[in-house]
Structure 1
Amino acid sequence: MTDLQTRTAPPRAGALRRAAPALLGYAAVRALGLLVLVLWSAARDKSAYTLLTARWDALWYVRVAELGYGYEVRLPNGDVHSNLAFFPLLPWLERLVAAVSPLSYADGGFVVSLVASLAAAWGIFAVADHVYGRRAGVCAVLLWAVLPVGIVQSMAYSESLFTALAAWSLYAVLTGRWVTAGALALAAGLTRPVGTAVVAAVWAAAIASFVAERRALSAGRADSGAGAPGGPAGRAPSPAGRVTGMLLAPLGTAGYVLWVGHRTGTGPLGYLDVQAGWRNGFDGGRAFAGFVADKFTSFPSALAGAGLVLGVASVVWLYAVGVRQRQPLPLLVHSGVVTLLALCASSYFGSKPRLLMPAFPLLLPLALLLARARPRRSAGVLGFLAVVGAVYGAFWLNGSGPP
């Protein structure tokens, strides 16, 4: 595995100018998706805004913001859907927006998601630009924008907020800002259960940095810090900073999980019982494999099954390519943990594409291909995917939508 990239980050104003093409392209793709959604919804006599802010998980986040924790729904089959399953950072931000403006909690969720999606796009660009260069950074952002489930980035969901925190935490690791990386990982851990992926990335990078430094010292190299991963070029990374970042990183996830266990009286892992009430858990992918296998019992559904197999194979292939291309360790750890948790969850199979959305390093091999192609060809591919994604997003939300 290669060492982390150790170039210093550009000044903030220069970084924004450098990211401007990616952010403008991202905004254009999202605007296209929203326009198609508005037109499609109007044709079906539905409200596009309601689809974005007041259905599925968005309703649960609003209930947390409005009522606090403790709301639950008991289903006829005995299952208990508790709002304790939803991590608190997005509802907190919804409350904040509602407190300082005339907007409702649902409006606040929409505003937070729009702002967070731009922050996520900038963070993805920063990471890809740092590792592979500006063109690859632009292509990575646009690929993330044109994902078939990209419309979720504009919904009052937590995916955009989490991806923004994860991307900037990873960038902080790559540029040696360990305390910032840990603080952002803490916030990511208050956003979604998969915040453990960011924690794992911070810890893996810090441990690798310590190991590389010790090896350098044992080899008697006077410049041991300059070549060690995790610090700006020419300056040894601070052990205290790394340790502080490692200590901060897990506090968000651990704090909320322990609080849920205390509140429910079910012990430190009580959050797992809450998830079990939603029939969700980690089973190593057994339930998902059975779900895919069932698709092959008849011809029409076999096509969907083949598509699922191809999709999973593509994800695994992209990860393998990232390993072969020697992506920095924290990127591989983050995308690996996100992918593992998404594919091995025991329920909500239709949600897996959006659960994979924060694993943006998976897109970097494709971004490199597009960056190396002729600009006209890359623009054509991305433009086509943007149209397909916009149409699919409108169709999806006006149909079954994300559960």
Structure 2
Amino acid sequence: MNDLASAAVPGPALRDAPGTPGVRAALRRAAPALAAYAAIRGLGLAVLAVWSAADGKNWHTLLTARWDSLWYTRVAEQGYGYAVQLPNGDVHSNLAFFPLLPWLERGLSALLPLSPADAGMAVAWLTSPAAAWALYATGERLHGPRAGVALAALWAALPVGIVQSMAYSEALFTALAAWGVYCVMTGRWVAAGVLASLAGLTRPVGAAVVAAVWLTAAVTLWRERAGGTGVRAALRARPGLLPGVLVAPLGWCGYFLWVGARQGSLTGYLDVQGGWGNGFDGGLAFGAFIWHQLSGPAFPAGLGLLAGVGLVIWLYVRGVRQGEPLPLVVYGGVVLLLALTAKGYFGSKPRLMMPAYPLLLPPATALARCRPARSWLVIGVVAVASAAYGAFWLNGSGPP
């Protein structure tokens, strides 16, 4: 633990200093990653437009007015309080959707000639490159510029990468989470706390960013104490640490408690999620679903699911063994744990794991060690496959 703490926890030298490169310099360094990201997502959108036209559908409608995007738009237009009761008695309440994206949709549509749905898509199109920039900065810091470019490109080319262009909250959340975790890695505690709080207002998995802030802060103080420095002295050396820790959970806890007060129960938000058939059971329902696939005619699909779960767990363990910093280990682990142990509609799991970008660090570092022609060939093939799959997926069952 001592070695992990010393290697993974930011020390005083990593705090902001007058010599820190400015935003413009950082943006210039990230330009290749942002260009690669834009090219991959542009390819995905072009394939979606062609596929949708051939299928008699509208690509714009698919991105802005289906599934969760309709719920976010309704919150932006009418506020909370809308619910649908299904024939089986389940109640789908819009309280299940965290408020930051609808707030932004409402604000942008009030300032610009955009509908709330188009504003939601605009938020996604603005924040997904911001997330790619954060991923580049993370990869660059740990393994160099080529790893940063590869990390941003791989995230763009995920099989469900098309969601990054939809009026969904994944792009917004990943941008806030990735920059928040980066701030923890670099000792910018107040910024990390604010970003963690905003991430907590965006999706339930915002708890993962809070955990990264809290556990890294705890290990930082523990290391200082083990080295003979008192806790008070350590806090004086890091004046932003305590405020960052205190601010970090405000968004997530605030919405959780507000829903509880509105529902008249401390577990009100969990009850709302239960109405959607969601919740956490330690992965029992997901395991039963995989077993059902394996034991029936859908055996190939079950085998694919099992291989996919094994792959993401292997990538997580691989990243830990490669010495990923503690904030990334904690954040990625919590996102992965919540995704794999949640019950509900299992087709959403790839989308739920999209913010788990630390899982892509091992393949990104491997690509960075390859010759540029080979690494770009691999990324290009993956990007084409992602574009085709995204268009097929969105014109079919899609990401509910």
What TM-score bracket applies, with the shorter chain setting the length? Answer: over 0.9
Provide Cα deviations, 1:113-138, integer angstroms capped at 9, x if missing partner. Answer: 00010111011111111122111100
- Where 1:20 maps in the other structure, the secondary structure is helix
Misfit runs of 4+, over 6 Å: none
2-structure distance, mates of 1:84, 1:386: 35
Aligned-residue CA RMSD in angstroms?
1.4
2:260 paired residue number: 261
1:71 paired residue number: 82
TM-score when scaled to structure 2? 0.94
1:214 positional shift: 1.5
TM-score when scaled to structure 1? 0.94
2:391 maps to which of 389, 394, 397: 394
- Contact 2:196 2:248 (C-alpha < 8 Å) held by counterparts: yes
2-structure distance, mates of 1:237, 1:116: 35
1:218 positional shift: 5.4
- Runs of at least 5 residues in structure 2 that lack an aligned partner in the other structure: none
Provide Cα deviations, 1:217-258, integer angstroms capped at 9, x if missing partner. Answer: 259xxxx97xxxxxxxxxx98443111000000000000000
2:289 paired residue number: 291
1-structure distance, mates of 2:397, 2:363: 29
2:241 paired residue number: 242
2:37 paired residue number: 26
2:167 paired residue number: 156
1-structure distance, mates of 2:206, 2:286: 22
2-structure distance, mates of 1:14, 1:277: 48
2-structure distance, mates of 1:87, 1:122: 24
| Letter of the 1:369 counterpart | A
- Where 1:41 maps in the other structure, the secondary structure is helix
- Where 2:342 maps in the other structure, the secondary structure is coil
2-structure distance, mates of 1:336, 1:348: 21
> Aligned runs of 1:303-382 on 2, under 5 Å?
303-382=300-379
1:232 paired residue number: none
- Contact 1:318 1:365 (C-alpha < 8 Å) held by counterparts: yes
Q: Does 1:203 align with 2:214?
A: yes
2-structure distance, mates of 1:237, 1:162: 32
The total of aligned residue pairs comes to: 387
Provide Cα deviations, 1:318-367, integer angstroms capped at 9, x if missing partner. Answer: 01111111100010000000000001101110000010010101100110
1:4 positional shift: 3.1
1:212 positional shift: 1.4
1:213 paired residue number: 224
1:62 paired residue number: 73
1:282 maps to which of 273, 280, 283: 280
Q: Does 1:128 align with 2:125?
A: no
2-structure distance, mates of 1:4, 1:264: 40
- Contact 1:176 1:237 (C-alpha < 8 Å) held by counterparts: no
- Give me the identity figure in percent: 61
- Where 1:81 maps in the other structure, the secondary structure is strand
| Letter of the 2:8 counterpart | D
2-structure distance, mates of 1:151, 1:238: 44
- Where 1:388 maps in the other structure, the secondary structure is helix
C-alpha change, 1:401 and 1:237, in structure 2 (3 Å) is farther
2:176 paired residue number: 165
1:107 positional shift: 0.5
2-structure distance, mates of 1:384, 1:155: 23
- Runs of at least 5 residues in structure 1 that lack an aligned partner in the other structure: 226-235
1-structure distance, mates of 2:114, 2:387: 27
1:229 paired residue number: none
- Contact 2:183 2:191 (C-alpha < 8 Å) held by counterparts: yes
1:230 paired residue number: none
* Farther-moved stretch of structure 1 (362-371 vs 237-246): 237-246
1:106 paired residue number: 117
2-structure distance, mates of 1:67, 1:218: 53
Q: Does 1:42 align with 2:40?
A: no
1-structure distance, mates of 2:315, 2:394: 27
- Contact 1:335 1:359 (C-alpha < 8 Å) held by counterparts: yes
1:11 positional shift: 1.6
- Contact 2:192 2:248 (C-alpha < 8 Å) held by counterparts: yes
2-structure distance, mates of 1:131, 1:199: 22
2-structure distance, mates of 1:131, 1:216: 25
